[in-house]
Structure 1
Amino acid sequence: SSFCLLAKAAFHSSAQVPQEVPRSGGTGTPRPEAEIHILVRLPVRKDQVLAMASKRILKELKDLQKDPPTSCSAGPKVEMKGGFSKTPYGICGPVAEDMFHWQATIMGPPDSPYAGGVFLVTIHFPPDYPFKPPKVAFRTKVFHPNINSNGSICLDILKEQWSPALTISKVLLSICSLLTDPNPDDPLVPEIAHMYKTDRTKYEATARSWTQKYAMG
């Protein structure tokens, strides 16, 4: 993307020019500067792109605080910088908030084997957000056909179905829905997808066991 800048430039000859140049009337007057208007096409600078992304991310944060999605919360990652201070997050600090790196918490849906679990999720916004999707991953281990051991999530809206109209709130709700209704036909872990299809009882028991072990500590 780019924008246009209308520049006004004054050009002077590099040769020595007399202070006065006679005109046709014979009267000597100062020679005027030659003026020319140039239409310059410049690329949008990186800091402008970051400013656009920051503005959008800040708006989403305010919307989340005003109307948080059910069973989810999210906000900028807080980095400890030494010393102590009172913040909305408790006694800590001084702290630095990175608007492009968030942490989220998802409560296991009550009608799933993940019920009662508290799952931590990281969210990384790219510099050209919202035109590119955020990178979202589980930090808490979860037994699920669409979530692998690295926490990567197989969710279409985080890949080819992403749209700038989507928000982090909608992404979190989609992840909650994925916990309730896995998609074994587009698995990230084929072995778990096979278990989900062929032995649902074993799948739910294993998922419940992992939830108790890793998400209830």
Structure 2
Amino acid sequence: MSGSALKRITREFAEISANPLEGVVIFPIDADMFKWNIELTGPKDSPYEGGRFRLNLTLPETYPFKPPVLSFATKIYHPNVSNDDKGSMCLGILRSDAWKPSCKIVAVLEMARGLLLEPNPEDAVENSIAMEYKNNRANFDRIAREWTRSYAK
């Protein structure tokens, strides 16, 4: 199975490299096409603006039949990213029941960057941050900017 997975992953990597996404840089870790480092630049007009966030993307050997795993290596104040050393991300497309073999890595990366522009407090991993986002947006933005300055250099 991993031979066909590798072929698909290599093709998707080439497509993304040929048409880079704004604010997204990708590169495999030690030439292992199943493990990528991702760097997301915080979008303009967001509390993450100016930050450089490192993420890890791990693709299963059964890709595209099983979803990749995407996690933040850079600490981030966000309702959809766990506030621990795992940096687990709550992204609907990555759920086993939502993932389809027709989904592509580029869509995962676009959605991850989109969450920096517009968090989804209704699908939160960090409920207290989600409540703050909904009820005290100014404070959420202030803390997110502080964390971006501190951790996303």
When normalised by structure 1's length, the TM-score is 0.68
Unaligned runs of 5+ in 1: 1-48, 79-96
Structure of greater relative contact order (alpha carbons < 8 Å, 6+ residues apart): 2
- 1:102 is matched with 36
- 2:110 is matched with 173
- 1:157 is matched with 93
Unaligned runs of 5+ in 2: none
| 2:11 is the alignment partner of 1:59 | yes
Secondary structure of the 2:122 match is coil
- Larger helix fraction of residues: 2
Aligned residues: 150
Contact 1:143–1:206 (Cα < 8 Å) also in 2: yes
Runs of 4+ displaced beyond 4 Å: none
- Aligned mate of 1:193, from 92, 117, 130: 130
Q: How far apart are residue 148 of structure 1 and its match?
A: 0.7
- 1:131 is matched with 65
Report the residue type matching 1:117 in the other structure: G
Contact 1:133–1:162 (Cα < 8 Å) also in 2: yes
Report the residue type matching 2:92 in the other structure: D
When normalised by structure 2's length, the TM-score is 0.95
Q: Distance in 2 between matches of 1:185 and 1:203?
A: 16
**CA RMSD between the two structures:** 0.8
Q: Who wins on radius of gyration, i.e. which is larger?
A: 1
Provide the identity percentage.
Answer: 41
Q: How far apart are residue 104 of structure 1 and its match?
A: 0.6
Report the residue type matching 2:138 in the other structure: T
Contact 1:68–1:169 (Cα < 8 Å) also in 2: no
Q: Deviations over 1:50-87 (max 9, x none)?
A: 10100001001110111011110112102xxxxxxxxx
Q: How far apart are residue 117 of structure 1 and its match?
A: 0.3
- Larger strand fraction of residues: 1
Q: Distance in 2 between matches of 1:103 and 1:169?
A: 14
Q: Deviations over 1:141-167 (max 9, x none)?
A: 000001012211111001132121121
